[in-house]
Chains A and B, each alone.
Chain A
Amino acid sequence: MSAAAVENVEVSGGRRSVPWLLPLVVVALLVGVWAYVNSLHMDSIETRSLAFDVVATAVWKHIELVVASTILTIAIGVPLGVLLTRPGIGRIGAVFLAVANAGQAVPSIGVLVVLAMLFGVGFWMAVVALVAYALLPVLRNTMVGIRQVDAALIDAGRGMGMSGFRVLTTIELPLAVPVMLAGIRVALILNVGAGTLAAYTNAGGLGSIISSGIALDRMPVLIVGSTLTICLALTVDWLAGLAERVLRPRGI
């Protein structure tokens, strides 16, 4: 996953040419699904499931889930990644990476259910599960990003009298930013997708529209739920791409 994320850094320059393509696809999808729903004669169940406020609440809840879990992921993953790249901590780093690896390997639905059984259901349980799932790319990319900084630059920094902290803030972190951002972008996308599972522990979100579409055997409901999820994922990816471009330090 993070290997892909690292590659992302290299190719993201190529995206420059068509930054408007993704929003265009999103708008086309939304218009398409709106036209499709309007062309139907919906029964009462469908009408209720697709009422504006129901859908809007689900979308908003989903965004809340993604934002909360991503912020938490960054808040844990970046400092932890920085800490694990400090000299003299090498072996512990491997342990944490293994744990993060396991977090990603375990299916989120499993984590969700276990957490629900242990601590009950709800928004924050879903957030915890999402953080466990999305931590790996952020943690690993932070470590990779810092470790790939040329040792000669750090030597030059130390040699001119920078403290370890100063080396971190003026050399290591700025130069790790592109790789770190790529990891955060991956985490965001993962969270949009995995967030649909949160509906199973009563945390709401677009997953609730999808699952009710399945449970009630209503195709239009299912289509609306999944299309909105896709649109949200594409939009988030697009925004993250913009952020990467803006936040990438100049000169590298």
Chain B
Amino acid sequence: MSDKHTPGDDAMIVLDGVSKHYPGQEGPAVAELSMEIKRGEFVVLVGPSGCGKTTTLRMINRLVEPTGGRILIDGEDVTHSDVDRLRHGIGYVIQQIGLLPHLTIADNIALVPKMLGVKKAERRKRAEELLEMVGLAPATYARRYPRQLSGGQQQRVGVARALAADPPVMLMDEPFGAVDPIAREKLQMEFLRLQDRLRKTIVMVTHDIDEALRLGDRIAIFGPGCRLVQFDTPLEILSNPADDFVRDFVGGGAPVRRLSLLKVSDVLASFGPADDAALGRTVPVEAGESVHRALELVLAARAEGVEVALAGGVRRIGLQTLLTAASQPTTVPA
């Protein structure tokens, strides 16, 4: 698919100087925005309301037509392509979910395949497959109507519907915003697991920085004046905020929040071979576990540190070393 226009080989979505001016409005809604989103990457657009993040998202599937710049998807300039065909290849999930109330769950999921001319029996099979994938039993839910489902269940269906035609790209506009907090966290985690398997290129909008930090591979923070302030990994944003706006937006407690993003292996890497040999009781943890989880285990067991089984033997890290790791942003490996 990719051709000579592709800036990077692994770039899936490229925004090239994209802007949006609404007639009769003084400033632009989005100004000269350039971003490159890699294949299989989960990018979260975050910022205060009115900062242009939703407009940016909706320009990718051209629900909002950009007034300037180019948008490339998989190397193809889509600013002038057939808009309906473009959207068939982009899954779209919105906060209001938008299931059609007069269609069954299975029919809702099969909407895009139906437009693409997939046969009925095949559509049915695909719908059941997807229901299974988002954790809803097809036998129970396929024939129900949307209003018979809870908000969380409906948004699972919303995600399933967006995935129905197996699009390489998914756009999500505050997908978990209308779901109650407990169901939201569960949905987020399930969605991350799903994404681990599917490796879609996802662009998601949220105003919740915690959600962004939890979900995104990279986070784009939009600031005042509709500009992109920082576009980086969650860890980097917590460790090295670009300016005061980002620092304020991320909010207090950055060192503590870094704990759930740092892995035990990162601590090992940044503190070299020194071994806290003089430790008392330690608890075993995996190297891939987050520092946050490791601390939880240590505190729960009233131990003094953790032990990590590595290829070269067991390494022990004390509580103090783990905590120091969180408070030293500059030592974080990229």
Q: Tell me whether A and B are bound partners.
A: yes
Q: Indicate if B248 sits at the interface (CB-CB under 8 A).
A: no
B146 interface neighbour in A155, A158, A163, A251, Cβ under 8 Å? A251
Q: In the assembly, what is the distance between CA of A174 and CA of B101, in Å?
A: 10
Q: Mark A150-188, 1 if CB is under 8 A from B, else 0.
A: 101101111111110010001100110000000000000
Chain B's nearest CB lies how many Å from the CB of A151? Answer: 9
Q: Indicate if A32 sits at the interface (CB-CB under 8 A).
A: no
Q: In the assembly, what is the distance between CA of A189 and CA of B140, in Å?
A: 43
Number of interface residues of A (CB under 8 A): 21
Q: Indicate if A41 sits at the interface (CB-CB under 8 A).
A: no
Chain B's nearest CB lies how many Å from the CB of A37? Answer: 49
Chain A's nearest CB lies how many Å from the CB of B327? Answer: 44
Q: In the assembly, what is the distance between CA of A162 and CA of B112, in Å?
A: 8
Residues of A within 8 A of B112 (CB): 160-161
Q: Indicate if B5 sits at the interface (CB-CB under 8 A).
A: no
Q: Indicate if B103 sits at the interface (CB-CB under 8 A).
A: yes
Q: Mark B92-119, 1 if CB is under 8 A from A, else 0.
A: 1010111111111000000110010000
Given A160-B161, A161-B85, A161-B87, A252:B101 Cβ within 8 A? yes
Q: Mark B129-164, 1 if CB is under 8 A from A, else 0.
A: 000000000000000011100000000000001100
| Closest chain A residue, CB of each to CB of B86 | A161
B100 interface neighbour in A153, A155, A158, A161, Cβ under 8 Å? A153
Given A155-B63, A251-B145, A162:B96 Cβ within 8 A? no
Residues of B within 8 A of A157 (CB): 98, 100
- Is there contact, CB below 8 Å, between B101 and A251? yes
- Is there contact, CB below 8 Å, between B84 and A162? yes
Q: Indicate if B247 sits at the interface (CB-CB under 8 A).
A: no
Q: In the assembly, what is the distance between CA of A252 and CA of B102, in Å?
A: 6
Q: Indicate if A249 sits at the interface (CB-CB under 8 A).
A: yes
Residues of A within 8 A of B86 (CB): 161
Given A156-B94, A163-B84, A166-B115, A250:B61 Cβ within 8 A? no
- Is there contact, CB below 8 Å, between A160 and B145? no
- Is there contact, CB below 8 Å, between A155 and B98? yes
Q: Mark B180-210, 1 if CB is under 8 A from A, else 0.
A: 0000000000000000000000000000000
Q: Indicate if B21 sits at the interface (CB-CB under 8 A).
A: no
Residues of B within 8 A of A174 (CB): 102
| Closest chain B residue, CB of each to CB of A153 | B98
Most A Cβ at <10 Å: residue of B98, B99, B103, B112: B98
| Closest chain A residue, CB of each to CB of B58 | A159
Residues of B within 8 A of A162 (CB): 84, 111, 115
Q: In the assembly, what is the distance between CA of A101 and CA of B34, in Å?
A: 53
Given A156-B94, A166-B115, A175-B101, A161:B88 Cβ within 8 A? yes
Given A160-B111, A175-B101, A175-B102, A155:B88 Cβ within 8 A? no
Residues of A within 8 A of B61 (CB): 159
Residues of A within 8 A of B94 (CB): 152, 155-156, 159
Interface residues of B in 53-74 (CB under 8 A from A): 61, 63
Q: In the assembly, what is the distance between CA of A58 and CA of B94, in Å?
A: 58
Residues of A within 8 A of B103 (CB): 251
Q: In the assembly, what is the distance between CA of A174 and CA of B171, in Å?
A: 27
| Closest chain B residue, CB of each to CB of A248 | B102
- Is there contact, CB below 8 Å, between A156 and B98? yes
Most A Cβ at <10 Å: residue of B104, B111, B161: B111
- Is there contact, CB below 8 Å, between A250 and B102? yes
Q: In the assembly, what is the distance between CA of A162 and CA of B87, in Å?
A: 8
Q: In the assembly, what is the distance between CA of A251 and CA of B115, in Å?
A: 22
Given A155-B63, A166-B115, A251-B145, A161:B96 Cβ within 8 A? no
Q: In the assembly, what is the distance between CA of A68 and CA of B86, in Å?
A: 46
Given A174-B102, A175-B102, A250:B145 Cβ within 8 A? yes
Chain B's nearest CB lies how many Å from the CB of A202? Answer: 46
- Is there contact, CB below 8 Å, between A249 and B92? no
- Is there contact, CB below 8 Å, between A152 and B96? yes
- Is there contact, CB below 8 Å, between A161 and B115? yes
Chain B's nearest CB lies how many Å from the CB of A213? Answer: 48
Q: In the assembly, what is the distance between CA of A110 and CA of B96, in Å?
A: 50
Residues of A within 8 A of B63 (CB): 155, 158-159
Chain A's nearest CB lies how many Å from the CB of B172? Answer: 11
Residues of A within 8 A of B115 (CB): 160-162, 166
Q: In the assembly, what is the distance between CA of A152 and CA of B99, in Å?
A: 9
Q: Mark A2-44, 1 if CB is under 8 A from B, else 0.
A: 0000000000000000000000000000000000000000000
Residues of A within 8 A of B104 (CB): 251
Q: In the assembly, what is the distance between CA of A155 and CA of B83, in Å?
A: 14
Chain A's nearest CB lies how many Å from the CB of B41? Answer: 21
Known A-B contacts: A161-B115, A163-B84, A174-B102. Give 10 more (CB < 8 A). Answer: A150-B98, A153-B100, A155-B63, A155-B96, A159-B171, A160-B115, A175-B100, A175-B102, A249-B102, A252-B101
Task: List chain B positions with a Cβ less than 8 A from chain A.
Answer: 61, 63, 83-88, 92, 94, 96-104, 111-112, 115, 145-147, 161-162, 171
Task: List chain A positions with a Cβ less than 8 A from chain B.
Answer: 150, 152-153, 155-163, 166, 170-171, 174-175, 249-252
Residue contacts A-B, CB under 8 angstroms, 11 given? A153-B98, A155-B63, A156-B98, A156-B99, A159-B92, A160-B162, A161-B84, A161-B85, A175-B101, A249-B102, A250-B102
